[in-house]
Amino acid sequence: MVVLCFYAVGDYFVDFALERGEDLSPPKACANIADPNLKAPPVPNFQNEDWSLESFDGLKLHAKRFFPAENSNRWAILVHGYGRDGTYAYDYAEEYLKRGWNVLVPDLRAAGESEGKFITMGALESRDIFDWAEKIISDNPDAKIILHGVSMGAATVMMTAALEPKNLCAVVEDCGYTSAYEMFTAQLNKIFGLPEYPVMPCADYVCKFKTGVKISDAAPLEVVDKIKVPILFIHGDEDGLVPFDMMTKLYDKAVAPKEKFVVAGAGHADAKRKNPAAYFDKVFDFLEESL
């Protein structure tokens, strides 16, 4: 009976936080975490086409590829956050395209037009982004690839970079967490007033049973020191979802060439909106140096 009760607790949390709705809506937890007023920006006015890819575990994944005005070997893979899809990265894509970059905007598994029932907070998504990079290289062996992710997308690109995809030149991580387990533990207390035990250990076990990976497997802090390319860490100092000290921990553990950009007064995933000009000036200055 005790085991069944613990499983039920973990099962509820996993479905609440990670399961996609039958109508392809994001997990129910998004109502408590994501900004409900945020709307997807318009599609960049550049030539584009749909790409597809089969994941290592048989899911059909979707991405939108955008072409800059002139041919270029520079490629940016832009990775969206929790409860969103690739369309929410279109404003970032617009800036890269204006500056002559090819852009690939994937829908992560269980988001947008990509298949999948469960989000895994970067644990499996990082393998998918690795495969998208491989697809770019198969079409353009001279591609110079950078990864730019926000929130869960930032955690994903850090974990992808640790897998050492070919032709990777730099990583931009914007408000990524040290681990999904720690981030959810903090939110569990804020939203429900519940402690870590027994909910999170139960959820970790059930997640492994349902998805093949644990919530605790989505842990950029465990692999950030394996990244060899330059990393730009971005964070708002008033982030209420991913605490600012998580960026400090990630930055301190990273051994690759690194920079940080702290945006005063910015909340979670809000650094770009707070000061777009300063944000993109920093990003592209960093990328020019990295390339």
Looking at the chain, the whole-number percentage of residues with pLDDT higher than 70 is 99
CA distance 104 to 66: 6
CA distance 264 to 55: 39
Predicted TM-score (pTM) of the model is 0.96
> Residue 233's beta-bridge partner residues?
173, 260
Per-residue pLDDT at 195:
82
Structural contact between residues 89 and 150, judged by C-beta atoms closer than 8 angstroms: yes
CB atoms within 10 A of CB 192: 12
By DSSP bridging, strand 144-150 and strand 231-236 are unpaired
CA distance 182 to 153: 16
The pLDDT confidence band at residue 221, using thresholds 50, 70 and 90, is very high
DSSP string, 174-197: ES--S-HHHHHHHHHHHHH---ST
- For the stretch 40-56, pLDDT in tens is 999 999 999 999 999 99
Candidates 216, 58, 203, 241; CA nearest to 123 is 216
Domain ranges of the chain: 44-178+218-290
- What fold characterizes domain 44-178+218-290? Rossmann fold (3.40.50)
- For the stretch 123-167, pLDDT in tens is 999 999 999 999 999 999 999 999 999 999 999 999 999 999 999
pLDDT greater than 80 at residue 37:
no
- For the stretch 85-110, pLDDT in tens is 999 999 999 999 999 999 999 999 99
- For the stretch 229-284, pLDDT in tens is 999 999 999 999 999 999 999 999 999 999 999 999 999 999 999 999 999 999 99
Per-residue pLDDT at 193:
78
CA distance 189 to 183: 10
- For the stretch 155-192, pLDDT in tens is 999 999 999 999 999 999 999 999 999 999 988 887 77
Token pair listed for 41? 């920006």
| Average per-residue pLDDT for the chain | 95
Point out the least confidently predicted range of 35-39, 155-159, 182-186, 206-210: 35-39
Helix (H, G, I), strand (E, B) or coil at 172: strand
By DSSP bridging, strand 102-107 and strand 60-66 are antiparallel
Mean pLDDT, to the nearest integer, of 3-17?
87
Helix (H, G, I), strand (E, B) or coil at 67: coil
CA distance 148 to 280: 12
Per-residue pLDDT at 2:
56
| Exposure class string for 239-253: b at 16+ Cβ within 10 A, else e | bebbbeebbebbbee
